[in-house]
Structures are given as C-alpha cells and as structure tokens.
Amino acid sequence: MLRTTLGALRSAAAITFLAAACVFAIPSTARAQTIVVMVSGEPITALDIEQRAKFIQMSTQKAPARQEVIDSLINEILEIKEAKKFSIEVPKSEVDDAYAGIGKRMGLEPQKLDEVLIKGGASPDTLKHKLKADYAWQSLVRGRYKSSLEVADTDVEAQLQLHKPDEKDQVGYEYTLRPVLLVVPRGAPDTAFEARKKEAEALRLRFADCASGVPFARALNEVAVRDPMIKFSSDLPSAQRDILDKTDVGHLTQPDQTAEGIQMFALCSKKETKADTPGKKEMRDEITQQKFGAQAKRYLAEIRREAMIEYKQQ
C-alpha cells in the first residue's frame, strides 16, 4: 500500500512539473510571436524584431536601437508590396543565389551560413527577406525613374574637375581576350594543379601572337580556348587592369588557378576607346548612386505616408 501511494505521489509530482513547465514555456513562445506592428495587413512580430536586431549587431558590431530595427522591417514590407503593384517579383532562386553569394564571400557554404546566423541569434529568413526587399526595391526605383537617374557626361567631367582633376585626362582601353583553360578534373590533388601550372608557363613562352598561338594551344591535351570576349578598362577592377596593362599584346597573362583548372587570357588586341575611363566610370557610378539614394528616400517616404502602419505593442 505504501509503495502504491508513493508511486502515485511520484506520478502526480511528475505531471505537476510537466504542467508547470508548459505554463512557463507558453509565455516565452507567445512573446516571440506577439504582433508588434501591422503594416498594411502584414504583421511584424517580436521574434522578427529580435532576429533582425541580432543580424544587424552581427553585421555592424553595434547593438541597434529597437525603433531602427522596426523601421527597417516596415520599409522592407512596403518596398516588396510596392514592387508587386508593378508586377516586380523576385524569384526565390534569385534570393537563394544572392544568399549563397554572401556565404561564398565569407568562405562559407549556405548551410554553414545558416548555422552562423542561427548561432548568433538571427536567422537565414531575416537575411533572405532583406535581400528580397533590396532586389525588388532597386528594380522598381531604377525602372520607374530611369530617365531622372541618368548622368550627363558634363556632370561627370565637372565632378572630376572638382574632386579628381588628375583623372579627367585618363585613357580608356578596349581589350579583346581569349580565355585559355588547362583543365584539371574535379577532385584532383594539388600536385595535378602544380603540374598544369608548369605546362601553362611553358605555353606562355611559346605563345607569341593569337593567330598562331590559339591553334597551337587548342592542339594541346585537355586545353580549351574559348571564344573572343571584349572588355573595357572601365568595367574591370584595378587589379585586372594592372594585369592586362603589364601583358604585351599577343601574349598570355600569368596563370591563375580556378575550380576548373589553370586559366590564362590571351590579350589579342588593346586599343584606346572613347568609352568611360575607369575614373569616369567610378565618378558616374558615384553620382548615379547619390541620385538613386535621394529618389529612393523620397519614394519610400511617400509610400510610408500612405501606408496603414498600426503599432500593437512597443
């Protein structure tokens, strides 16, 4: 009888403990899902705010003000909704590609980036939502205000004269390139890449001009020579421009290891062009970005004034 009574007491205690645990767990989950703001019928929850705040802190190393976080989430919802009015939809695949690109720049696979964000208290969804809003908003603003965002050559020249007078007389170049790839199978050891690199160096010594060098390279084992491509100096990063400027016409650039193997570029021609110089391109992009920022700010302020933004809880 005593054992039966004790067993019943233990069972009752266990049930009481589990019930208490559930009572304490529910408010925490409820708090996370509490709606803080309604934006034109779409909710922003406490969890959304918490995860975005953690993401901003991870990105900037500074804890953001709560209202700053809320405003960023409100803006994103409005930007996506406004873009939809003009039939601008960002495919999930494009968002996933952008997400993977961020991970790649950090040296992380998408799954590993997921883990980093979750460990930091953020989430993959908060970053993906931001990417979706950014893509949609940029497409919308650039599409609707294309003519007003155009920059005249005279404006570029004037700004160069004021801020970078030494760059106004720079020369731009048009390059004709032939990519040359010495293929290395996927999963091959480092020694295979080293061996192909030596072959690439030997090919560079034999390559005197594109007319004879391209057929010669194509005849080699596991070497692919791709179609000609035109590149302008204004579209290339300074490091790539330096490489091409140090390469004689008709010769190959230094070998570079890629995922596919060892790659070089045959510089088949190089001529001056009236297109933007690197300095002009940089200044044009800077002015365009300033115009875009000002227009986007005005547009966002307008749709915020017209939107239904209701604070449920602060």
Residue 306 has pLDDT above 80, yes or no: yes
DSSP string, 61-85: SSPPPHHHHHHHHHHHHHHHHHHHH
Q: Chain-wide mean pLDDT for the chain?
A: 85
| pLDDT score of 283 | 79
Higher-scoring residue by pLDDT: 5, 262: 262
Q: CA-CA distance, 177 to 228, in Å (whole number)? A: 6
Q: CA-CA distance, 103 to 126, in Å (whole number)? A: 15
Higher-scoring residue by pLDDT: 172, 194: 194
| DSSP 3-state of 271 | strand
132-185 residue pLDDT tens: 999 999 999 999 998 888 877 777 677 777 766 555 456 778 899 999 999 999
- Give the pair of three-digit tokens for residue 229: 């491509």
